Amino acid sequence: MSETQKPVKTKKKKTQPKPKSRIYGVIVMSITFALACLVSITSLTPKRYDVSVGSRATEAISTPRMVVDLVNTEALRQAARNNVAPVYAVDEKLADSLISNAQSFFSALASFRNAANTTRAASKTAVGDGDGDADDTRSWQEVIPAADLTAMLEKLPVKVTDTALGYALLEATDAEIKQLKDLVTSTLQKELRAGVSEADQVKTLARINKELKVSSLSVWLKAMGESVYDKYLQPTNVVNSVETTRAQAKAADAVEPIYIARGATIVEVGQTVSQEQYDMLLSLDLVKGAEAASQLTPGTILYLFSVFAMLALYLIAFEKEAFSSNKQMTILALILLLTITLEWVCYIIDPRVTPAVFGVLLTTLLVSRKTAEAVNVAFALSFSLLAGGSGSTLFGADSILSMAAMLVSGQMVMVVAERSRKRGSLIAAGTLGGVAGAVVVIAGGMILNYNWNTALIYAGLQMAAALILSVFCVGMLSLWENLFDIVTPARLHELANTNHPLLKKMMVAAPGTYHHSMMVASLAEGAAEAIGANALLARTGAMYHDVGKLRRPQYFKENQNGQNIHDTLQPEESAGFIIAHQKDAMSYLSRYRMPSEVKKIVAEHHGTTMVTYFYYKAKQQQSQDGEPVIERLFRYQGNLPSTKESAIVMLADSCEAAVRSLSEPTREEVAEMVRKIIQGKMDDGQLKMSPLTLGEINQIEKSFLVTLTGLMHERIRYPALEAMS
């Protein structure tokens, strides 16, 4: 390719979906939506029974899903609450009130003494016994009669009935009263604010009374102090209802729920329905006339319509080629319908088991990765509706966990499956997807405080379902490939195996052609990788591109052993035999049921090129015999390359043959020959139908040079045996 050549910009026409194709796609999505609604509504609507409290069951009633035994679980939780010891706290307000009351008592005692002294002074003045108290030698019994004293004592906050104690309080000095006050109030303040419990009240009272008795106070004042203690040493360490309730709730939450297994019998035949059984039937939405979700059907239809409408709009906007292809939409429809049907079966086994991995894996292999991503989201949103069971558990924790697990699991499956070339590795893709989903379930279980048994069972269901369904998917993959003529990486890998019967036959019957095909395969694979084309498809097509030479291997130079059969034939005959190998190749490929994409490469790799050698041989004969040369007889009648892979194989085939014809070529000679061959194909119009750009052709040329340099490196020349002797 000359450097001065200007790239020819060819605009590739965008494929516009035909109206019929769009209608077919809409029909496919509508059918899928209808089946999803049927499966969801049927699964979510349990059989209901005509029962009431006290009635006899006419048939056995079982749980449609695993459910918490509310009665026994609540009984255990109530027992846990009852076993929680009350939480005590000091009532500061009560303590302050009691201390204030004690201080008020001593204020009242001071008033009592002042009133008594006032009475004494008044009585002395009345009898004319002097002006002061110093010479008043009367006793308090003489001043205040017992009856009057009793009346005065009744005004004290602490009940004092002993008049002897009353007289002693009057006879005590101010210093002694102050000592009593300081001792009693400080002790009360210390004990009350530290907290006095009801159980320890008597013990505390005995202790502070003992401390009071060892004081220097008089017996009567000590008795008064004991009365004050009896009055005001009340329990201040009271039950904290808020903290106690919180502790009880924590203890109740720590109780593991008791589960009733799915399928367990709630009510036996002929058994009288108890209130507890009836409550459980109500929670499971199994009582006729008390449906828990009266808007279930319209709500489910609206929800699923949103999901599948989103899927359809995504395909229309971003996967136009797939949506406009009847073949791909048929494949997608079958995948969706089969997966949704499997979801029906899985729901019967356990609502948390989903077949999303199956559908995502098939969509990745048979349609495209981008379509699979949209399908994965649609499955996660729709199947999670069923994961929680029916009734009040719809969109519960199990639903959210299932949705997250399906999204992560499906993404893992797509990443691994897209890089898988063997069928066995597809099982690994499903298994890894199951493991990823299980990790999400365990993590979610930890966040939601599931017990470990529940979380591990849920995770085990995720892994088991993914493994089983991926094996099922791989087992039926060949059916999809043959039924829809699909070429998957796994199928290409099998066809590219040199142990394939057709390749082994070529290896034995046409070894030169086999060697040439392997060289072309290496060139094509490297070039396809360089421009981002399907390298495995290009390699496989190159390995079979000359398989038609098996019919007449000796008619081709690489398989001849000295004698050239074309020396005995006319140029037109020789060209006919050479050109016929392409038709023979298609016959072999059909016999061995090769995919159409491989056939296309083989059918297009020669395009309409000319068998140049025999054409020029005919031109030489024309100069001698004068017979006109018909160019059409020397050109292949195939289609021009229409894909990148076909164009790459055409260029690789021609470049390998041309370079092989060089005698001890240098790198410069190889580069010049490759450039000449590619430019010649472009000048001959062989690449005008291919989607290759000029930049990609440049990359292909560079890749060919790298591969040819590695395959045709200079060999070491060994000295002659005579020189070594």
What amino acid is encoded at 295 in this protein? Q
Q: Quick check: 454 and 444 in contact, CB under 8 A?
A: no
- Dig out the tokens for 289 from the structure: 């006339």
pLDDT the model gives residue 19: 53
> Tokens 């695993």, residue?
66
Q: Which of 301-305, 348-352, 392-396 has the lowest mean pLDDT?
A: 392-396
Q: What's the rounded mean pLDDT across residues 664-672?
A: 88
Q: What's the rounded mean pLDDT across residues 601-617?
A: 89
Non-local CB neighbours of 260 within 8 Å, separated by 6+ positions: 63, 66, 67, 68, 69, 266, 280
Report the alpha-carbon distance of residue 199 to residue 209 in Å, rounded: 17
pLDDT the model gives residue 121: 86
Q: How many CB atoms sit inside 10 A of residue 629's CB?
A: 16
pLDDT the model gives residue 183: 93
Q: Quick check: 92 and 193 in contact, CB under 8 A?
A: yes
DSSP-derived 3-state class of residue 511: helix
Residue 566 has pLDDT above 60, yes or no: yes
Report the alpha-carbon distance of residue 280 to residue 282 in Å, rounded: 5
Q: What's the rounded mean pLDDT across residues 617-622?
A: 81
> Tokens 């990765």, residue?
369
Among candidate residues 433, 260, 466, the one with its CA nearest the CA of residue 352: 466
Residue 721 has pLDDT above 50, yes or no: no
Report the alpha-carbon distance of residue 333 to residue 380 in Å, rounded: 17
What amino acid is encoded at 50 in this protein? D
Among candidate residues 660, 653, 618, 416, the one with its CA nearest the CA of residue 542: 653
Q: Hey, which residues does 239 pair with through a beta bridge?
A: 88
Sign of dihedral through CA atoms 413, 416, 422, 425? negative
Question: What are the φ and ψ backbone dihedral angles of 325, each rounded to 5 degrees?
Answer: -95, 115
Q: What's the rounded mean pLDDT across residues 120-137?
A: 67
Please give the model's pTM, rounded to 2 decimal places.
0.65
Residue 15 has pLDDT above 70, yes or no: no
Non-local CB neighbours of 108 within 8 Å, separated by 6+ positions: 155, 156, 157
Sign of dihedral through CA atoms 467, 469, 475, 477? negative
pLDDT the model gives residue 355: 94
Which position has the higher pLDDT, 16 or 536? 536
Could you report the per-residue pLDDT of 450-460, keeping only the tens digit for each? 778 878 888 88
Q: What domains are there in the chain, each with its CATH number? A: 19-43+292-486 (no CATH), 88-239 (no CATH), 490-711 (1.10.3210)
Q: Quick check: 408 and 459 in contact, CB under 8 A?
A: no
Strands (DSSP E) contained in 45-99 are 61-62, 67-68, 88-90
Question: Would you say how long the chain is, in residues?
Answer: 725
Report the alpha-carbon distance of residue 320 to residue 455 in Å, rounded: 42
Q: Hey, which residues does 238 pair with through a beta bridge?
A: 89
Residue 716 has pLDDT above 70, yes or no: no
- Going from the C-alpha of 387 to that of each of 44, 382, 394, the distances in angstroms are 10, 10, 8
Could you report the per-residue pLDDT of 171-199, keeping only the tens digit for each? 999 999 999 999 999 999 999 999 888 88
With bands split at pLDDT 50, 70 and 90, how would you rate the model's confidence at 718?
Answer: very low
Residue 622 has pLDDT above 80, yes or no: no
Q: Within 13 Å and on the Cβ side, how many CA atoms surround 601?
A: 33
Sign of dihedral through CA atoms 556, 557, 563, 568? positive
Q: Which of 262-271, 298-307, 476-485, 509-518 has the lowest mean pLDDT?
A: 262-271
Residue 498 has pLDDT above 80, yes or no: yes
Strands (DSSP E) contained in 249-404 are 259-260, 265-267
Among candidate residues 182, 175, 183, 168, the one with its CA nearest the CA of residue 214: 183
pLDDT the model gives residue 142: 87
Report the alpha-carbon distance of residue 340 to residue 383 in Å, rounded: 9
- Residue 613 buriedness (CB in 10 A; 0-12 / 13-18 / 19+): middle
Residue 290 has pLDDT above 80, yes or no: no
**Mean pLDDT of all residues belonging to the chain:** 86
Whole-number percent of the chain with pLDDT over 70: 90
DSSP-derived 3-state class of residue 67: strand
- Going from the C-alpha of 323 to that of each of 311, 367, 428, the distances in angstroms are 11, 10, 30
End-to-end CA distance of the chain: 50
pLDDT the model gives residue 436: 94
Q: Quick check: 383 and 407 in contact, CB under 8 A?
A: no
Non-local CB neighbours of 627 within 8 Å, separated by 6+ positions: 621
Residue 659 has pLDDT above 80, yes or no: yes
Question: What are the φ and ψ backbone dihedral angles of 145, each rounded to 5 degrees?
Answer: -60, 160
Q: What is the distance, to the nearest Å, from the Cα of residue 481 to the centroid of all Cα atoms in its chain?
A: 30
- Going from the C-alpha of 679 to that of each of 279, 685, 689, the distances in angstroms are 84, 10, 16
Non-local CB neighbours of 51 within 8 Å, separated by 6+ positions: 57, 61, 267, 273, 278, 281, 287, 288
